[in-house]
């Protein structure tokens, strides 16, 4: 597959409800810009508020999607529509923190057919809350991450271990983890305690989600590996 010319402009949809008070929301445009400059690409980041996304929204205008932290979103259904589009249309997708949680929820509902799957933050009494409170809250926490060899995230980092920051209270409900990971959804990273912290989809060119927030390092002058990997996947599309 031919790679696009160095002057290609990539349009990345940021799925979430923009709030300048959220550290990740300040960091993500910086992360994308740093990654674009390093790869000699041009990138335009477009905030798509979840309550602006409907079945009539033309999501084909975007080369890639980043589902951002700071949920609950104003529209759960809007966020899921964008994730479904990225998954079904084979468009590069990155989800961090809330994006991870909603990627799992979308997969549970629309791939596994669990129509009653819920996010425990919005529906804590649901019998099928596939996302539930973490046993230890990861708000302003840092931990080592061990990647599964051969995964997209391991290739992006070029190593099997890294150290990342979090601002997250919810993750995959252990009660449903084995069933969720029994098909195309695969575990790609775990923390020092062995808890799941990164996932990806088999058979998709780039569909990665993490509970950690790699974008935060952009505010410290670093180029996040996953921002670079997302843009590289976008640039290599036909």
Domain covering 9-235 assigned CATH 1.10.730.10 in the classification: no
pLDDT at 190: 94
Instruction: Report the candidate in 17, 11, 70 with the shortest Cα–Cα distance to residue 41.
Output: 11
pLDDT score for 196: 93
- Domain boundary assignment for the chain: 9-235
pLDDT in tens, 55-69: 999 999 999 999 999
Integer Cα distance of 236 and 92 in angstroms: 10
Spatial distance between the Cα atoms of 82 and 84, rounded to a whole number of angstroms: 5
Write the CA distances from 234 to 7, 45, 77, 158, integer angstroms: 13, 13, 25, 19
**DSSP-assigned beta bridge partners for residue 209:** 95, 199
Q: Please indicate whether residue 218 or residue 140 has the higher confidence score (pLDDT).
A: 218
pLDDT for 3 equals 43
């Amino acid at each position: 597959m031919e790679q696009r010319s160095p002057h290609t402009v990539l349009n990345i949809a940021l799925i979430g409800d923009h709030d300048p008070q959220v550290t990740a929301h300040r960091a993500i445009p910086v992360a994308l810009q740093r990654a674009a400059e390093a790869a000699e690409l041009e990138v335009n980041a477009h905030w798509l508020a979840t309550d602006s996304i409907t079945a009539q929204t033309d999501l084909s205008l975007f080369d890639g999607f980043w589902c951002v932290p700071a949920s609950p979103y104003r529209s759960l259904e809007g966020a899921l529509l964008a994730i479904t589009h990225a998954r079904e249309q084979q468009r590069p997708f990155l989800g961090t923190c809330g994006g991870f949680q909603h990627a799992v929820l979308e997969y549970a509902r629309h791939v596994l057919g669990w129509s009653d799957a819920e996010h425990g933050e919005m529906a804590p009494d649901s019998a099928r809350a596939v996302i539930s409170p973490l046993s230890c809250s990861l708000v302003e926490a840092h931990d080592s991450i061990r990647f599964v060899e051969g995964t997209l995230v391991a290739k992006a980092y070029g190593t099997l271990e890294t150290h990342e920051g979090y601002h997250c209270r919810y993750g995959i409900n252990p009660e449903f983890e084995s069933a969720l990971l029994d098909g195309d959804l695969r575990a790609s990273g775990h923390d020092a305690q062995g808890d799941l912290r990164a996932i990806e989809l088999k058979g998709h060119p780039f569909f990665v989600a993490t509970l950690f927030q790699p974008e935060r390092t952009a505010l410290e002058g670093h180029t996040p590996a996953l921002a670079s990997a997302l843009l590289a996947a976008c640039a290599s599309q036909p």
